[in-house]
Amino acid sequence: MNSSVVQFLILFACSISYACATTTYRMCVPHHIMDACKEVASKSSSDVQFECVAGRDRMECLDKVLNRQADFLAADPEDMYIAFNLKNEDFSIFSELRTREELGAEFRYEGIILTRKNNGINSMADLRGKKSCHTGFGRNVGYKIPITRLKKNGVLKISPDPTLSSVEKELKALSEFFTASCIVGKYSADSEVNHNLKQKYPNLCALCEDPAKCDYPDKFSGYDGSIRCLVDNGGDIAFTKVIYVRRFFGLPIGNNPATTVALADPDDYEYLCEDGSRRPVTGTACTWAKRPWQGFMSNADANSNVAQLQSSLLNWYTNGLNNVDKAVASKLWITDKYSVVPKTDLAFPGDHLISANYKDVIERDGSTSQKIRLCVKSEAKSDIEMRKCGILKQAAYSRDIRPEFYCVESNDCIQTVHESNADAVVLHPNDFFRAHDNELKKIMKEVIDPESVYVVVADKNINSDVLKKMNVKFDKSDMRAVDVALTFNRARNIETDIEDIPSASNSQIEIVHSSRLSDEKYLDKQLICPDFTTKDLSEANTCNFDGRYTRGIFVRNSLGGTELESIVHGFKSLSDQFGHGGNLENVFELFGEFEPGAKNVIFTDDAKMLENDDDVNVLSKT
């Protein structure tokens, strides 16, 4: 049924039902965009009753919907995969976000193979030895889907060589299968590893505009670039998606007339199907796998009157589009580019992904059994580190971070890693020397947000003798505050031990986080600098005792080669995706308060990212 007809029927059914104006639906959103959600809700009409519920991130929102603390959330297909593994039949996709250009398309991406007519390719096996054009490294249509489906068809063999990283196994397989390709992008977050892999497998860049660089921008990369690679640069096949084929060849899209001029004769090209058959590009494509649209996912209770929920969401979205600042609305995926399309049949996440062959794409593992066994602290009264690690593992796997993370709980993670029962542990600086004594080495470290510092504040009329002798007030449960207290005492020639450093509740001197300086209680205070000069509270960035003591990731000294490279790659990928400012920070917040009152769980709350450590093997007690 046409989507616009569906929308009309839903709105009509709801308009004659008294129930439509009586129910409030709770939408869970990551806390970073809570203000945007409230802004949209405040501009909604009186018959649209929405309540915004804050979650730490989308991972917690899934949990809140599951536990009836919220009714629904906006979700990527990868979130649907996590829901499938949580409790598949308690989640349903009830509406989708589709581009206005493709309102009638069942899926967001339809991965296809484009090829020339009469080129002798009549089966998947015939692709061996051909020249291939890809959208880019790690991308869905041009990389993940081809690898997944070629493996599924038994023609692409991934090496089981344990000396190769999971990424290199895939690159090696593609390099041996195709004689020349264009696969641009960063093969590793480490620039040296990226360079070395491209040097080792140069044929993967041979068809690119700039083979030596093999990175964006490149006119033979991306959805349309891969088609140009086939048409203009000697490729035999191109991996791309349907809408770009239709644009390239000047064909209509959906019910819309053609809006582009053909850049090549469509009669000279065909779609190659998995069974070896072909279809004209002027007709319906045969797709290898599809990426579902982003959508809205609810629990079973919220679906008791799904027409009402769908209608309310339509109105909420329309109000946001028309009445809210566009930059604010876009944080909630509300843009002129998209429309909400109610589903005629609710779909369980698992069924939805399997029907698109997208579950296989997410579960693509590079044919490696390697896992990063992350050791976390076991505590008598709390399993909080284990719970965060479990969520980290789910989020990372769904977003194609490989090797897969695996959580190991221990009372003594240093010993557990030393004995090879785990691969990595995140340690506080206080544990660095013991880690060194147990033959562990630091491979990565946290980078603290430059806007997040601890300062020493004091009364403006404080006596200099008092300043240099008085005990300090600080939070002894906050290790960064403890570190600053130790640093401040050393500067005053006061020797204190980390175990028994005193905190004076009524002191005129206090150690606080810079974010608290706007509190009224500090308005009459001043900052104390390391040289014991004073500055205004606005100068925290240049007047603080924050030594930036950061946690580090440790592994065994004996670990090296590909295994070490894979661990670094895994943690760097975590940081890039889920770190502060990362593309997927709203999906899983790697840094920041994990639960109310639970600070610095595994990582430091104020960390911004992880970076390679320059001090490997130089730790000493001197």
Q: Tell me the two tokens of residue 94.
A: 């009830």
Provide CB contacts within 8 A for 291, sequence distance 6+: 77, 107, 108, 109, 111, 140, 141, 356, 358, 361
pLDDT at 614: 66
pLDDT at 88: 95
pLDDT band at 189 (very low <50, low <70, confident <90, very high): confident
Q: How many CB atoms lie within 10 A of CB 505?
A: 7
pLDDT at 19: 43
Residue 6 has pLDDT above 60, yes or no: no
Mean pLDDT of 495-516: 88
- The model's pLDDT over 402-458, given as tens digits with 9 standing for 90+, comes to 889 999 999 999 999 999 999 999 998 889 999 999 999 999 999 987 778 899 999
Q: Tell me the two tokens of residue 119.
A: 């080129």
Conformational region of residue 508, where left means phi above 0, alpha means psi within -120 to 50, and beta covers everything else = alpha
Residue 310 has pLDDT above 50, yes or no: yes
DSSP 49: -
Alpha helices in 273-406 (DSSP H): 306-323, 326-330, 349-355, 358-362, 384-398
Mean pLDDT of 89-102: 95
pLDDT at 161: 86
How much of the chain exceeds pLDDT 90, in percent?
Answer: 70
- The model's pLDDT over 540-563, given as tens digits with 9 standing for 90+, comes to 988 988 766 689 999 999 998 888
Cα gap 394→405, rounded to integer Å: 9
Peptide bond into 202 cis (omega under 30): no
**Per-chain mean pLDDT for the chain:** 90
Cα gap 275→293, rounded to integer Å: 26
Lowest mean pLDDT among 40-49, 257-266, 422-431, 528-537: 40-49
| 562 vs 134, more confident | 134
Mean pLDDT of 508-526: 92
β-pairing verdict for 371-377 and 404-410: parallel
Find out whether 166 and 190 touch, Cβ atoms under 8 Å: no
Residue 517 has pLDDT above 90, yes or no: yes
Residues in the chain: 622
Torsion sign over Cα 565, 570, 573, 575: negative
How much of the chain exceeds pLDDT 70, in percent?
Answer: 93
Angle at which helices 166-177 and 191-200 pack, to 10 degrees?
30
Q: Tell me the two tokens of residue 513.
A: 């986080």
Find out whether 49 and 29 touch, Cβ atoms under 8 Å: no
pLDDT at 298: 97
- The model's pLDDT over 341-369, given as tens digits with 9 standing for 90+, comes to 999 999 999 999 999 999 999 998 644 46
